[in-house]
Structure 1
Amino acid sequence: MTPLIDVIFLLLLFFMLTSTFSTFGEIELSSAARGTSAQNTDIERAFVQLGATRVVLNGAQTTLDDLASELRKGQVLVSLDADTTAQRLVDLLVRLRGRDGLTVTVLE
């Protein structure tokens, strides 16, 4: 019986040391509804191409920090390159999060 308890404690110690107890940040994603009509056609739109190493805003090369300062309100359409990682997209969304009047749409 005693060796079994030792093995259980060793397994418990192993799983406690190998697991992570950190919480992950959440980013709210909403899908666009089909068939909705545009109520305000005066919306400023910005087109962002996001790659693993590049960020292009309306055809001009920029950085994530400069992009966040340039976009104040309107609609941002984000196109992802094939080499874009999920972390890179999350970095962009975190910089643009919480701004009033700014909506971000990630294109497929």
Structure 2
Amino acid sequence: MSRRKARRRALSLTSLIDVIFLLLLFFMLSSTFSRFAEVELTVGAAGDGGTADAAPLFLRLAPDTLSLNGELVALDALAGAFPDVEAEAPLVVLVSMAAGVTSQRLTDLLGVLRGVPGIAPTVLGS
């Protein structure tokens, strides 16, 4: 008995490439390129000292703790911890970060500060 060798056909990759391009086109057209949220960020720089009527508040952000002028505060209760200021100039809050603070933690803090009226947060650089 002689065995016949089965000939294999070469696979065509043309249809696979077409499917990949169609998927790419679908995902590009179905995605949105708008920004969901923006966080305004003011960075302290040399020569930024101005004359303010009220002394700035010092906010220390650590990976697990948060302190406002040396007193521990929970992130949820931070909005109520600020004094009521009825001045024309916004109250300056200096934000200092400890080592190991993630960008998500800083974004959460700035999101809370954004909801407090009359606050101008300034993130101190290293």
Question: TM-score when scaled to structure 1?
Answer: 0.74
Q: 1:94 is matched with which residue: 111, 114, 122?
A: 111
Root-mean-square deviation (Å): 2.9
Name structure 1 gaps, 5 residues minimum: none
- The corresponding residue for 1:103 is 120
Q: Which has the higher strand share?
A: 1
User: Percent identity of the aligned residues?
Assistant: 36
**Separation in structure 1 between the aligned mates of residue 117 and residue 95 of structure 2, nearest angstrom:** 18
Question: TM-score when scaled to structure 2?
Answer: 0.65
Residue-by-residue CA offset, 1:22-52 (whole Å, 9 max, x unaligned): 7442112233454355233x21421111111
Name structure 2 gaps, 5 residues minimum: 1-11, 86-90
- The corresponding residue for 1:83 is 100
Q: Which has the higher helix share?
A: 1
Deviation at 1:3, TM superposition (A): 4.8
**Separation in structure 1 between the aligned mates of residue 55 and residue 117 of structure 2, nearest angstrom:** 14
**Separation in structure 1 between the aligned mates of residue 65 and residue 48 of structure 2, nearest angstrom:** 32
Q: In structure 1, give the amino acid aligned to 2:43.
A: S
- The corresponding residue for 2:79 is 68
- Does residue 8 of the first structure (1) align with residue 25 of the second (2)? no
Deviates more, 1:5-14 or 1:47-56: 5-14
